[in-house]
A and B are shown apart, each in its own frame.
Chain A
Amino acid sequence: MAHKDDAPQAVPDTPGTRRHGDGVRRRRPLRQRHVEETVEVAVPVRTAYNQWTQFKTFPRFSTVVHGVEQIRPTMTAWTIGYGPLRHRFAVEIVEQDPDAYLAWRGLEQHPSHQGEVEFRPTASGGTAITVRMLLEPRGAARILTRSSRATRLTARSVRGELMNFKRFIEGLGQEGGAWRGTIRNGRVQHDHPEPPRSRVAQWPVG
């Protein structure tokens, strides 16, 4: 949340976004990267993207993620942890382009985090997946994670998760579902007059 001393900000300007030449506001690539890791997977981009965006399946391959609740396309709640420790946080997906890109930000203020995932086809027909994450811990956690060692640990963890995903999707060979929608600035965009999830009772409720 902004402070009173700040100049008024237009609501749609979610942090790290800018307007492109085509008039569409898209997320600016993270500059201040805490972590960047890339892995190549031997499945087509569409397959990798479709599986990645089935967030509820993350616990099937991840050693850190214990549960994901998909509240709606733009909002998820994640439970992560090591051993007996658990932490739950909500995440907003602010940008999503099928087969190309996904950006998120945490909705908690402490600690805050944001990140992005890029999907690029490789010459061999596979997919290069790049994850960039920026963590902004507060208080004691900020002091503890200030060292480069903490950054390396985070990077190692992200790399480990990417390797887990690689084994998962390469083993499965094909995705277990798909959501092909587009998200811009935290809002679902639709190019279909009646997307399936809009087919609900429309009459007034008293």
Chain B
Amino acid sequence: MQNPPGEEPETTLSVTPPKKWAAGVPAVVHALEYSLEQTSPRKTGVDLLAMNQVGGIDCPGCAWADPAPSRRHRNEYCENGAKHINDEATTRRITADFFREHSVADLAARSDMWLNQQGRLTEPMIKRPGSEHYEPISWNDVLGVFAQELKALDSPDEAVFYTSGRASNEAAFVLQLFARAFGTNNLPDCSNMCHESSGFALSETLGTGKGTVSLTDLHHADLIFLVGQNPGSNHPRQLSALEEAKRNGCRIVAVNPLPEAGLRRFKNPQKASGVLGRGTQIADRFLHIKPGGDLALFQALNLLLLEAEDAAPGSVLDHDFIDAHTTGFEEFARHVRTVDWDDVRTATGLTRAEIEKVRDEVLDSERVIVCWAMGITQHKHGVPTVREIVNFLMLRGNLGRAGTGACPVRGHSNVQGDRTMGIWEQMPDTFLDALQKEFGFDPPRPHGLDSVDSIKAMREGRVKVFLALAGNFVRAAPDSEATEEAMRSCRLTAHISTKLNRSHTVCGDTALILPTLGRTERDVQADGEQFVTVENSMSEVHTSQGRLEPASPLLLSEVAILCRLARRTVNGKADIPWDMFEGDYGTIRDRISRIVPGFHDFNARVTRPGGFQLPNPVNEGVFNNKVGKAVFTSNERVVPRAPEGHLLLQTLRSHDQWNTIPYTDNDRYRGIHGSRHVVLVNPADLTELGLAQGDHVDLVSVWGDGSERRAENFEVVPYPAAKGSAAAYYPETNVLVPLDSVADISNQPTSKGIIVRLEPVLDRTQPATA
């Protein structure tokens, strides 16, 4: 265990060649090193051995599915999960003295890493209007302040209730119930910023907002596409599934602007071959695509499949499936036949020959799965790209059969479950009707605000109160300056949090910190010890139960805080037993079972080993969209272009980072050590721009609203990024993403494909010369 850093550590950048493989022994060493810095060997052991086990703690790190109970390893976690869980289980504590010592302005000048390293929040705090410091406040008083502010609003729509994907099903259900009983559908969530484009595209085309595959499908696919995702750093346990698929003879095509280590080779530290040997090659074929070229790639592939069918009628397309289960094929086919290969080349940077080789892989494969993540969804054309992936899958009937399907890979551990529980600003009437029937109040019907629209409303003074259930909204959101201005415009900001982050330091006139239990901790309520439930990326719903003693006796659970806030605010407005909910989470699950389709017998089924899997209608031969069939779509061609002297920037996470929180300044897979203020650029682009390794530049994004968005003083690193593109770390470069730059249809911020120029930094210590 080490004490928290007093001052920001001073480090300098060093660059080594990017790694060609992921995990292995170094992953174990780094995970243990970080864990033991944070907490004791005993706590580390308790946490890690309970992680992702039946009856244990669901890893908050990502939403990847767990193997069947009988197939789980004793150590069922990855390096990043181990770091994350022990980051929460840290023995470091933040007390009232800390806030006396550090003003809000002081804290706002600190890095994300420094704030996180200070440890766990232990008691409720308030920053009063005009004050420069947070100060302790009792739970009773802090709830009173919150209730008073809400009741003072002219309209319920002047409040926003944000949810992070770490929140449990129970907490999410209670939050949306509270918000709707209060009278608003303003329920933005982190989904708005990660896979919103997937949800819209899949709902429209397949009638389901969720992925269609299970781990068993992945294990038995013939061909898997990994598109716009970096499993080595963002969902490392996916590598184990890919390893098993490879052992069964699967081939993998990786499509990404960066040749990430985890796409190349995986050394499984739980196997002798991973410790001593060369591990498993992951991608058999790597397409070094330009950011945003994926739509053009899948359109080109679809054209090649149609042409293969023309050459050998009846041998390529799945006519049985297309005829019986889809609509729109003819129009789609006409549209795709207009694909221009010059445009494809410009958009993707790939040659026709490269794409034809992928077509051959597809024709050789009976079972195909496409996995994707934010490298797809965070583009302006994220929705059309996912639609085109669906077109691709449907052409050869790669839906609804074993070993086939669509696999959006989600990040936050319960981001899917929170949405299932009704955290959405546009919930359908069927759900609202069920709430009305169950609780006897009229939920508001007009759609509420999502994340981007919430920020706009706060800036314009239309929203005055912001409550966040977990997360770090200020750093997760785009256009950092605009978001911070929005938060500072609020009358009240309140955060239910385990640890300190920048969202506590960029706050409204009054700011509240409501400290809460973490996933790792025992949650004891009036009815005894509680567990919560989550839903992973493959629609498996299961329990999570902490083992450690809470970081402070004053911590309340997320459910308890929300129930108490609701009791103080909306008590008597509806027939909602907040006391009972707080005392026994089983009573919340009883209500969920009557309201959310697919959750019948929730309490009984979720306590079975491994929980239960929600069926996906597509795998039942059902398409629950307007037409009752899978829909082929015709998507307008997009050729992302940057003006001369500019690059297409993608923001990304380092390997040593969980969402907005970096654990260190290192990103060892990419060979970056000691600094996060780097921009990775193709060497040929650097030559054209007259830049060289070690140059310092400002990143300036181009957007037509007259505002200049600048990320200052980044060091240039030559890197095998796709020609014409650049990459830099999130959240440091969120400042470059304009608030109005959103994906069509889904309103998801476009953190990929940002047009930037690199302006060399003059020596700021010298006066500028004329």
Is A194 in contact with chain B by the CB < 8 A criterion? yes
Q: B363 contacts A8, CB within 8 Å?
A: yes
Q: Which segment of B125-133, B419-427, B476-484, B714-722 sits at the interface? A: B419-427
Is B751 in contact with chain A by the CB < 8 A criterion? no
Q: B584-601 toward A: CB 8 Å interface, digit per residue (1/0)?
A: 000000000000111000
Q: What separation, in Å, do the CA atoms of A1 and B217 have in the docked complex?
A: 14
Q: Which segment of B12-20, B197-205, B485-493 sits at the interface? A: B197-205
The residue that A8 contacts in the complex, of B315, B402, B628, with Cβ under 8 A, is B315
The residue that B249 contacts in the complex, of A67, A92, A109, A185, with Cβ under 8 A, is A109
Known A194-B622, A202-B209: A185·B320 in contact at CB below 8 Å:
yes
| B70 vs chain A, min Cβ distance (A) | 7
Q: A200 contacts B614, CB within 8 Å?
A: yes
Contacts of B615 in A (CB 8 A): 72, 197-198, 200
Q: Which residue of A lies closest to B250 (CB)?
A: A1
Is A164 in contact with chain B by the CB < 8 A criterion? no
Is B360 in contact with chain A by the CB < 8 A criterion? yes
| A5 vs chain B, min Cβ distance (A) | 10
Q: What separation, in Å, do the CA atoms of A3 and B196 have in the docked complex?
A: 38
Is A204 in contact with chain B by the CB < 8 A criterion? yes
The residue that B398 contacts in the complex, of A10, A11, A25, A188, with Cβ under 8 A, is A11
Is B248 in contact with chain A by the CB < 8 A criterion? yes
Number of interface residues of A (CB under 8 A): 47
Q: Which residue of B lies closest to A92 (CB)?
A: B402
Is A75 in contact with chain B by the CB < 8 A criterion? yes
Q: B202 contacts A204, CB within 8 Å?
A: yes
| A87 vs chain B, min Cβ distance (A) | 13
Contacts of B398 in A (CB 8 A): 11
Contacts of B711 in A (CB 8 A): none
Within 8 A of A (CB), among B721-759: 746, 748
Q: What separation, in Å, do the CA atoms of A197 and B70 have in the docked complex?
A: 25
How many interface contacts (CB-CB < 8 Å) are there between A and B? Answer: 180
Q: B622 contacts A12, CB within 8 Å?
A: no
Contacts of B320 in A (CB 8 A): 12, 25, 185
| A85 vs chain B, min Cβ distance (A) | 15
Q: A107-125 toward B: CB 8 Å interface, digit per residue (1/0)?
A: 1110000000000000000
The residue that A77 contacts in the complex, of B216, B419, B614, with Cβ under 8 A, is B216
Q: What separation, in Å, do the CA atoms of A31 and B192 have in the docked complex?
A: 55
Q: A107 contacts B321, CB within 8 Å?
A: no
Q: Which residue of B lies closest to A86 (CB)?
A: B70
Q: A8 contacts B308, CB within 8 Å?
A: yes
Contacts of B200 in A (CB 8 A): 204
Q: A205 contacts B420, CB within 8 Å?
A: yes
Q: B216 contacts A195, CB within 8 Å?
A: no
Q: B401 contacts A3, CB within 8 Å?
A: no
Q: What separation, in Å, do the CA atoms of A92 and B598 have in the docked complex?
A: 24
Q: What separation, in Å, do the CA atoms of A164 and B628 have in the docked complex?
A: 43
| A22 vs chain B, min Cβ distance (A) | 13
Q: Which residue of A lies closest to B625 (CB)?
A: A202
Is A63 in contact with chain B by the CB < 8 A criterion? no
Q: A71 contacts B208, CB within 8 Å?
A: no
The residue that B68 contacts in the complex, of A9, A11, A77, A185, with Cβ under 8 A, is A77
Contacts of B596 in A (CB 8 A): 201
Q: Which residue of B lies closest to A107 (CB)?
A: B220
| B403 vs chain A, min Cβ distance (A) | 6
Within 8 A of B (CB), among A184-198: 185-190, 193-195, 197-198
Q: B402 contacts A74, CB within 8 Å?
A: yes
Q: A1 contacts B222, CB within 8 Å?
A: yes
Is B621 in contact with chain A by the CB < 8 A criterion? yes
Contacts of A2 in B (CB 8 A): 364-366
Q: A190 contacts B620, CB within 8 Å?
A: yes
Contacts of B613 in A (CB 8 A): 71-72
Is B671 in contact with chain A by the CB < 8 A criterion? no
Q: A199 contacts B597, CB within 8 Å?
A: yes
Is A73 in contact with chain B by the CB < 8 A criterion? yes
Q: What separation, in Å, do the CA atoms of A195 and B194 have in the docked complex?
A: 31
Is B84 in contact with chain A by the CB < 8 A criterion? no
Q: Which residue of B lies closest to A75 (CB)?
A: B402
Q: Which residue of A lies closest to B427 (CB)?
A: A203
Known A10-B318, A72-B619: A202·B208 in contact at CB below 8 Å:
yes
Contacts of B420 in A (CB 8 A): 201, 205
Known A8-B312, A71-B216: A198·B402 in contact at CB below 8 Å:
no
Q: B597 contacts A200, CB within 8 Å?
A: yes
Q: B366 contacts A74, CB within 8 Å?
A: no
Contacts of A194 in B (CB 8 A): 622
Known A12-B321, A198-B615, A206-B419: A188·B621 in contact at CB below 8 Å:
yes
Is B71 in contact with chain A by the CB < 8 A criterion? yes
The residue that B209 contacts in the complex, of A14, A72, A73, A205, with Cβ under 8 A, is A205
Q: A1-21 toward B: CB 8 Å interface, digit per residue (1/0)?
A: 111101111111010000000
Q: Which residue of B lies closest to A183 (CB)?
A: B621
| A127 vs chain B, min Cβ distance (A) | 27
| B480 vs chain A, min Cβ distance (A) | 21
Contacts of A77 in B (CB 8 A): 68, 216
Q: What separation, in Å, do the CA atoms of A150 and B712 have in the docked complex?
A: 74
Q: What separation, in Å, do the CA atoms of A136 and B431 have in the docked complex?
A: 51
Contacts of A88 in B (CB 8 A): 71
Contacts of A200 in B (CB 8 A): 208, 597-598, 614-617
Contacts of A54 in B (CB 8 A): none
Q: Which residue of A lies closest to B400 (CB)?
A: A187
Is B241 in contact with chain A by the CB < 8 A criterion? no
Q: Which residue of A lies closest to B320 (CB)?
A: A12
Q: What separation, in Å, do the CA atoms of A112 and B659 have in the docked complex?
A: 43
Is A154 in contact with chain B by the CB < 8 A criterion? no
| A13 vs chain B, min Cβ distance (A) | 9
Q: What separation, in Å, do the CA atoms of A197 and B195 have in the docked complex?
A: 25
Contacts of A201 in B (CB 8 A): 209, 420, 596-598, 614
Contacts of B193 in A (CB 8 A): 206
Known A71-B613, A205-B416: A109·B621 in contact at CB below 8 Å:
no
Contacts of B614 in A (CB 8 A): 200-201
Q: A149-166 toward B: CB 8 Å interface, digit per residue (1/0)?
A: 000000000000000000
Q: B216 contacts A204, CB within 8 Å?
A: no
Q: B313-348 toward A: CB 8 Å interface, digit per residue (1/0)?
A: 011111111000000000000000000000000000
Is A79 in contact with chain B by the CB < 8 A criterion? yes
Is B238 in contact with chain A by the CB < 8 A criterion? no
Contacts of A108 in B (CB 8 A): 220, 248
Is B214 in contact with chain A by the CB < 8 A criterion? yes
Contacts of A190 in B (CB 8 A): 620-622
Contacts of B210 in A (CB 8 A): 205
The residue that B321 contacts in the complex, of A1, A109, A187, A199, with Cβ under 8 A, is A187
Within 8 A of A (CB), among B364-391: 364-366
Contacts of B577 in A (CB 8 A): none
Within 8 A of A (CB), among B400-443: 400-403, 415-416, 419-420, 424, 426-428, 431
The residue that A206 contacts in the complex, of B198, B217, B315, with Cβ under 8 A, is B198
Is A90 in contact with chain B by the CB < 8 A criterion? yes
14 inter-chain pairs at a CB distance below 8 angstroms, sorted by A residue, are A1-B365, A4-B360, A12-B320, A69-B68, A77-B68, A77-B216, A190-B621, A198-B620, A201-B209, A201-B598, A204-B203, A205-B415, A206-B199, A206-B748
Interfacial residues, chain A to chain B (CB-CB below 8 A): 1-4, 6-12, 14, 25, 67, 69, 71-75, 77, 79, 88, 90, 92, 107-109, 185-190, 193-195, 197-206
Could you list 6 further interchain pairs (A-B, Cβ under 8 angstroms) beyond the known A1-B249, A203-B199? A75-B402, A186-B402, A187-B321, A200-B597, A201-B614, A202-B597
Interfacial residues, chain B to chain A (CB-CB below 8 A): 68, 70-71, 189-196, 198-200, 202-203, 207-210, 214, 216-217, 219-220, 222, 248-251, 308, 312, 314-321, 360, 363-366, 396-398, 400-403, 415-416, 419-420, 424, 426-428, 431, 596-598, 613-617, 619-622, 624, 628, 746, 748
The 7 closest A-B pairs by CB, nearest first: A206-B191, A204-B199, A200-B598, A198-B622, A206-B196, A204-B209, A198-B617
